[in-house]
Structure 1
Amino acid sequence: MSKKIKVLVVDDSAIAREMLVRGLSRKPDIEIIAQAGDAYEARDHIVLSAPDVMTLDVEMPRMDGIEFLKRLLPQYPIPVVVVSALTAEGSKKALEAMQAGAMGVVAKPRGRTPGDLERMIEELAEQIREASIADIGKQTKREEFPKSTSPLRSPPPGKSGTSGSKDNRDRMIAIGASTGGTVILNYLVSRFPQDMPGTVIVQHMPPVFTRLFAESLNRESKVEVREAADGDEIRQGLVLVAPGDFQLKVVKKGKGWAVSIAPGDKVSGHRPSVDVLFSSVAEAAGPNAAGLILTGMGRDGADGLLDMRRSGARCFAQNEESAVVFGMPREAAENGAAERLLSPEEMVPALYSDFRKPASAPQRTRR
């Protein structure tokens, strides 16, 4: 039998801790080794028990989860999954926790039915599994990535998206990410020039958090960033983030494209799914698109990126040296979808310029 994942559960609510411990204990590959009601108790368990993963409530007395992460991770680099209430304050703090180094976030159930709780436990268990194989040393702050030395011209201030290269107005970009994605996406989008082709992003994240994440990106970017709404047109200088718990597709609209957003079944284990996005881009945009798959466990996006490459799109994936979890990029490389593995500093130049060049035929990498 494979080694169980040792988990520390941290929440100031005894009821919440009992709920999490009981649910996670039913998973054969997860072992709850301790639980804590505040940051100080949690620190003692980390020192004594050395858990593989910690679940963390960010709204706690004495020391909140964000401050705890900032103090903890430099000394004890442990993968952390945030478990947060779907309130405005809870969601905001959860996003801050991810920017401080947490691997992922799971929303506490709004309802009290057994089905709501079971779905939340299933999602949390998956996040724990993904976090347990993450290379926490690569979960660095955005500014610690190598600086881009690309020859991109500096855009004028503002977010109008109306000036710049005409060539970019009939092209689009699709990006997919999971664990560790918020940090690399912060790095990339903050470096997009104002005339960047219209971009659509799927980041595996619950509802509410996707909107806050988009708002956070928008505050630090030259381009406009917002959570996508059904019917939004894809245009130069605009980045759309897929809303949590919905599937997003790109569809033709006149001479350009728009997004179609609707409820739907999970695809490749996710909603929104990178595969759904990429496959729709292959059909709608073909060689006028570029795709990039970033850090994450599993293979969501690998088949869709292959569809894009077969349609003539330029297709890239994050390299192993920088990916917190190399699962999704590896799958895209091994099935022939990704023509190049890129470091963070190479990504914006590739997406901005390289995909004007003809794409090469896909070649499967041998395992």
Structure 2
Amino acid sequence: MSTPIKVLIVDDSALVRKMLQEMLSTDPAIQVVGTAFDPFDAREKIKQLHPDVLTLDVEMPKMDGVTFLKNLMRLHPVPVVMVSTLTEKGADVTFEAMDLGAVDFVTKPKIDLAHTFEDYTVEICTKVKTAGKVSKRMLERQYARYVANQTKRPVMASASVTSEQKRSTDAVLPKSSFNSKHFKTTDKVVALGASTGGTEAIKEVLMRLPATAPGIVITQHIPAAFSGPFAKRMDTITEMTVQQAQDGQQILPGHVYIAPGDKHLMIARDGARYVCRLNDGPPVNRHKPSVDVMYRSVVQNVGPNAIGVLLTGMGADGAAGMKELQDVGAPTMAQDEKTSVVWGMPGEAVKLGAANFVMPLEQVASKILELANR
């Protein structure tokens, strides 16, 4: 029998610490070795207990979770699952934590959790076990990328598109233009799926794409309260215009459409145009939005004009849909194992023979542009 994953729970709320301990202790593959009430207590417990994984509260007294995480990743990298509040501020802080190298996040358990206790327990245990498989080298690579992006920021600001330039782009391709009759169908549509580690992987791809890139539709497994803030965050780091997808919205070049966290994103044809359709059907592969649902709509309505991309993520969502994309003649690519936080979804696609190209994350954007220009 394999050794259980040793977990340290860091949270300023005694009630939340107790709830998380109860949940994690239901899984025999996990051993809660201790709890800490603030980052200073956590620092001492890490030295004493040598945990494999931390669950870390975003908002704590004395030192916030992100500041603590920054010190941790710099000095003693340990896989971390953030415990976040379902607010816009909670979303912003959580995405910053993912920048720094946090593996994943769960939302704060509600006090009246009785009716969803089992679902939440499965979610947090699964994410902790996934975090336990992440190597120290992967965490170091993620933190190095964060530091490099921080030092590049002033240069990027001058080189990338300004708010004023973006407004002028929107004047040519306005965000509300899906009702206009003046736009032709996008030549290519990029359909991109991701899960665990995906918020950072998507950022790395979008940062490298110009405003002339084809329209991109994205399904990232994410809570509904976080998908809007995630889209806004991505809009600040790329020359493309990024927004949360709306039903009936035309897919235009230079634009990115991110699935709301509680709806399936599908692509439909409206005459000569491709448009976003939001679907409130049941979860598929336990996910809503589901990558397979998006891919299958792309198979039916875009066909060989599509480019399929599958990035880091836990599970198998998207693998079968990517095979269907490949079968209709659309080029497909999967992120490689070395650069994936979790090589679940892309790994399953590779096993199926569904990926025409398997490549490191930093090469995905250039391959998208190469395929779009063929």
> TM-score surpassing 0.5?
yes
TM-score (ref. length: structure 2) = 0.86
Deviations 1:20-56 (A, max 9, x none): 1111211222211111111111112222212121111
Correspondence for 1:74? 74
Secondary structure of 2:362's counterpart equals helix
Correspondence for 2:259? 242
Deviations 1:182-227 (A, max 9, x none): 2221111122111111101112221221211111110121111111
- The answer (yes or no) to whether the contact 1:178–1:203 under 8 Å persists in 2 is yes
Within 1, Cα distance between the matches of 2:76 and 2:367?
35
Correspondence for 2:166? 158
Correspondence for 2:308? 291
Correspondence for 2:333? 316
Deviates more, 1:11-20 or 1:326-335: 326-335
Seen in structure 2, the aligned counterparts of structure 1 residues 355 and 331 have a Cα distance that, compared at 3 Å, is farther
Correspondence for 1:307? 324
Listed as ranges, the matches of 1:1-367 within 5 Å are 1-109=1-109, 112-139=112-139, 140=142, 141=145, 144=148, 157-158=165-166, 160=169, 162=172, 169-357=186-374
Secondary structure of 1:234's counterpart equals coil
Cα deviation for residue 73 of structure 1 reads 1.1
Seen in structure 2, the aligned counterparts of structure 1 residues 12 and 255 have a Cα distance that, compared at 3 Å, is same
- The answer (yes or no) to whether the contact 2:260–2:289 under 8 Å persists in 1 is yes
Seen in structure 2, the aligned counterparts of structure 1 residues 355 and 339 have a Cα distance that, compared at 3 Å, is farther
TM-score (ref. length: structure 1) = 0.88
> Which structure is higher in helix share?
2
* Number of corresponding residues: 348
Seen in structure 2, the aligned counterparts of structure 1 residues 352 and 28 have a Cα distance that, compared at 3 Å, is same
Secondary structure of 2:278's counterpart equals strand
Could you list the runs of 5+ residues in structure 1 that have no partner in the other structure? 148-153, 358-367
% same residue? 39
Cα deviation for residue 12 of structure 1 reads 0.3
Cα deviation for residue 19 of structure 1 reads 0.9
Seen in structure 2, the aligned counterparts of structure 1 residues 74 and 305 have a Cα distance that, compared at 3 Å, is same
- The answer (yes or no) to whether the contact 1:108–1:120 under 8 Å persists in 2 is no
Seen in structure 2, the aligned counterparts of structure 1 residues 66 and 113 have a Cα distance that, compared at 3 Å, is closer
Seen in structure 2, the aligned counterparts of structure 1 residues 48 and 143 have a Cα distance that, compared at 3 Å, is closer
Seen in structure 2, the aligned counterparts of structure 1 residues 7 and 245 have a Cα distance that, compared at 3 Å, is farther
Secondary structure of 2:191's counterpart equals strand
- Structure 2 letter corresponding to 1:283: Q
- The answer (yes or no) to whether the contact 2:88–2:229 under 8 Å persists in 1 is no
Secondary structure of 1:215's counterpart equals helix
- The answer (yes or no) to whether the contact 2:188–2:372 under 8 Å persists in 1 is no
- Structure 2 letter corresponding to 1:114: A
Secondary structure of 1:299's counterpart equals coil
